[in-house]
Amino acid sequence: MLRKEKEAIIEETVRLLSDTEALYVSDYRGLTVAQLTQLRAALRERGAELHVLKNTLTAIAAERAGCVNLKELLNGPTAVAFCGEDLLGPAKALSDYARASQTLVLRGGLLQGSVLDADGVRRLAALPSREVLVGQVVSTVAAPLAGLVTVLQGTISGFVRALNQVAEQRAAAGGA
């Protein structure tokens, strides 16, 4: 590979590292081209890009991008999934594929600069989706509010009944 080609790959990797909040590193040894294509498609559906990278060039790019923690995950054949906005979807896709294929090996990843081991990636993959988490937060916040509304309705209706009884008593006392 020519020096210019290497430099172009390093610059592209620096850009990818700078533009992502999360990435997941795996060992793709043993996957066929068709399987790798299938994995890329599954990750693309979840907003991630899978790149097969040379460790030496990736280490240089990580140094330039300020992601020195990435170097500890670089050994053997390396495929890196760079995430878009969804940080959990690619982790789920990789974890599911690794479990199904028994060939892909998760090494770990970087999440907002912190290193994750393979178990950390699997734990991320086990989390519910963003929509489910938002729904859980909304229902947690809404439950006490619904209780407050019920209590207030009971108090107001009790007050209205008491006023109604007073009005009835006065009407009965005045009419008799």
- CA distance linking residue 134 with residue 157, whole number of Å: 34
Nearest Cα to Cα of residue 54 among 24, 38, 26, 75:
75
- 8 shares a domain with 79: yes
Kindly report the pTM of this predicted structure: 0.72
Query: For 78-129, how does the pLDDT look when each residue is reduced to its tens digit (9 = 90+)?
Result: 999 999 888 888 999 999 999 998 889 999 999 888 888 988 889 888 888 7
Would you say 47 and 86 are in contact if contact means Cβ atoms under 8 Å apart?
yes
If one counts every other C-beta atom within 10 angstroms of the C-beta of residue 6, the result is: 14
Which residue do the tokens 């790019």 mark? 61
- 133 shares a domain with 123: no
- 13 shares a domain with 94: yes
- 69 shares a domain with 11: yes
Would you say 15 and 80 are in contact if contact means Cβ atoms under 8 Å apart?
no
Helix (H, G, I), strand (E, B) or coil at 75: coil
Structural domain tally of the chain? 2
- 72 shares a domain with 145: no
Q: Which of 112, 127, 142 is the last residue of a domain?
A: 127
Domain hosting 153: range is: 129-176
